[in-house]
Structure 1
Amino acid sequence: MVGPHLVGFKTVTSAGRAVRGRSQQERDRAGGWGKVETGRSQPQPRLSPFSRAAGWDPPALMPPTSSGCGPSTPSLSLMPRTLDGQITMEKTPSYFVTREAPRRIHGMSPATKLIVVVRNPVTRAISDYAQMLSKTPGLPSFGTLAFRRGLGPVDTAWSAVRIGLYAQHLDNWLRYFPLSRFLFVSGERLVSDPAGELGHVQDFLGLKRVVTDKHFYFNATKGFPCLKKAQGSGHPRCLGKSKGRPHPRVPEAMVQRLRAFYRPFNRKFYQMTGQDFGWD
């Protein structure tokens, strides 16, 4: 029997696999929105003996066609084998902002559960820019990219801005999946209270609460919590070098303009999810 999958939309940034073999009847998935919150939530559920996750990040459920020009049929063949009672996780942030992803994933398994990790879209946009800048030195300034002609309206054509329109992306997903199939995780609380947020994740998946406070310690250098073995054995696992990098300085006037721009979208997102993330 094909088992449960978890599609998690990590604070948006990468991917995983699908099921071959036995497991439960539900499917769960974990995804993210382009740097909505890259990779913070996915390693933790791996601590649970009841979950299996891919060890690499191919967009398994939205693979390219043979021509390499676009997605074809979602592939379950890349997912790890699972046992009865286990859940298979797959994480690809880009799913959330890919228009055809909901239809394709629903066609593969309408029982899929989806975990979405979101953070303040203004902070997310600046963080996304910092990542771009680290890979492409000499990139135009943040203001030049975020605002048309550097002075005009907010430029939603820029991916770092567009990804933060969470309500619009969620609206596309709700055409195929009911709200009950989603768990929305606060990226801010995932940093300040990782065990608490992971507790909600485990409850949502119907897993025993195995991941607790004893699995975390705060890394002051990174500014994020790190994972450790409950018994203190083994090496702790912290975020990679690409995480926790300093953000470029953005003028406060630009930050305020972005906050004003996102405010109505944020409020709609709060209404849609029934959660106030406190970004305003």
Structure 2
Amino acid sequence: MAASPPQHLLPHHPRADPRRLSHRLTIASSLSLLCCSLVYLLSGLCASELTDRNELRPSTRDLLVPGPDWPYGRNRTSLVSLAGGEGAPGSGQPAQDSNSSGREWTASRKLPQALIIGVKKGGTRALLEFLRLHPDIRALGSEPHFFDRHYARGLDWYRSMMPKALGGQIVMEKTPRYFVTVDTPARVHAMSQDIKLIVVVRDPVTRAISDYTQIISKTPDIPPFETLAFKNHTTGQIDSLWSPLWIGLYAQHMERWLAWFPRAQIHLVSGERLISDPAGELGKVQDFLGLQRIVTDKHFYFNKTKGFPCLKKPEGSSKPHCLGKTKGRTHVSIDPEVVQKLRDFYRPHNQRFYQMAGQDFGWQ
């Protein structure tokens, strides 16, 4: 039988030293715990650094909040409107902004605070387009005819027609027919007792000829102006109920409006001066609306071909712009004797209107 090898030459088995195995396990556990702790600590530091950076970096919204030194505070014009967002003419997207007092400014549809109520062929379209240059005015381009044709649709429908506006912006529309429609003053008053009303008036004789010129451009087969203007050519009796002549009875129409609104809420624009001095007339309108005079003579130039002022930089464009071909077009030729009879007819009506208006428009 072979002799057994000496004890110190036998191979070492793990079971042979449990204390050493336990020591190794303890070291491994400690290293694992240490690694986990380091990972957790580093993750916390990274998160903290990101949070600090976010707190220090102003948000886009914070950059849009006007401070106490905001230069347009007097004019109440939001940064959004100046940047071409909602509130700027021609935009269609709602936006929010807030002023330094923390009041939220939200674009929304509102009932108008001002109306251009007349008169037809007096210069209402020109006035509206000129006013739309102002950043604090949001004006409906089309004529909604709510108070004279669509009143049964209700105020909610009327509001839905209006452009969206921010706080501080004035919403307005123009429908020249309002001035001469019998029921309109009471209906407007029922909506708002504080609304501001604008009337563009023009020499009633010139206005009537302009009105007729537009009519025959659409219906060329109608009788001549001279035929329609008189009830009786022999006696020279004027047909004051013929629409082009009836609209020019400004005192009669103004009287209805003054029964519902004080004179201070009605601003009269001279159609003649709107052509000869558009900046001057626009300045008065801006004062009436409580706005800063932003639309000035720098916005206009006189087009000698049309005989009408045009915009140097209209809304949404950098090119000069004149109103359409229907504005400033050549009037039809009228017999001078007929023109004189119309001037004689309107003279007492004009004098009565001057007294109501508190100013003489100089119509002959």
TM-score norm. by structure 1 comes to 0.85
Q: Distance in 2 between matches of 1:148 and 1:26?
A: 41
2:198 aligns with 115
CA contact (8 A) 1:26 1:111 kept: no
Q: Distance in 2 between matches of 1:279 and 1:73?
A: 40
1:253 aligns with 337
Task: Write the mapping of 1:202-221 to structure 2, written as runs, cut at 5 A.
Answer: 202-221=286-305
Pick one of 163, 166, 173 that aligns with 1:80: 163
Change (3 A) 1:73 1:100: farther
Task: Write the mapping of 1:80-99 to structure 2, written as runs, cut at 5 A.
Answer: 80-99=163-182
Gaps of 5+ in 2: 1-106
- What code does the residue aligned with 1:181 have? Q
Task: Write the mapping of 1:133-148 to structure 2, written as runs, cut at 5 A.
Answer: 133-148=216-231
1:127 pairs with 2:127 = no
1:242 aligns with 326
- Deviation, 1:83, is 1.2
CA contact (8 A) 1:63 1:72 kept: no
1:21 aligns with 108
Task: Write the mapping of 1:163-174 to structure 2, written as runs, cut at 5 A.
Answer: 163-174=247-258
Q: Distance in 1 between matches of 2:305 and 2:112?
A: 40
CA contact (8 A) 1:61 1:76 kept: no
- Deviation, 1:64, is 2.5
Q: Distance in 1 between matches of 2:147 and 2:165?
A: 17
Q: Distance in 2 between matches of 1:179 and 1:277?
A: 17
1:46 pairs with 2:129 = no
- Deviation, 1:149, is 3.6
Change (3 A) 1:128 1:22: closer
Largest Rg, 1 or 2: 2
- Deviation, 1:189, is 0.2
- Deviation, 1:136, is 0.9
1:100 pairs with 2:186 = no
CA contact (8 A) 2:116 2:124 kept: no
CA contact (8 A) 1:54 1:89 kept: yes
Q: Distance in 2 between matches of 1:155 and 1:63?
A: 25
Cα deviations by residue, 1:137-165 (Å, 9 ceiling, x for unpaired): 12211110011144431101200000000
- What code does the residue aligned with 2:108 have? G
Please provide the CA RMSD for this pair: 2.2
Q: Distance in 2 between matches of 1:247 and 1:22?
A: 40
Change (3 A) 1:88 1:26: closer
- What code does the residue aligned with 1:36 have? G
Q: Distance in 2 between matches of 1:155 and 1:38?
A: 25
Change (3 A) 1:205 1:38: closer
1:56 pairs with 2:142 = yes
1:226 partner SS: strand
CA contact (8 A) 2:119 2:179 kept: yes
TM-score norm. by structure 2 comes to 0.66
Number of residue pairs the alignment of both structures matches: 255
- Deviation, 1:35, is 2.1
CA contact (8 A) 1:227 1:238 kept: yes
Q: Distance in 1 between matches of 2:108 and 2:330?
A: 43
- Deviation, 1:245, is 1.6
Cα deviations by residue, 1:200-243 (Å, 9 ceiling, x for unpaired): 0001001111111110001111110001229xx61222111111
1:156 partner SS: coil
Which has the bigger relative contact order, CA under 8 A and spacing at least 6? 1
2:97 aligns with none
Q: Distance in 1 between matches of 2:153 and 2:188?
A: 11
CA contact (8 A) 1:32 1:116 kept: yes
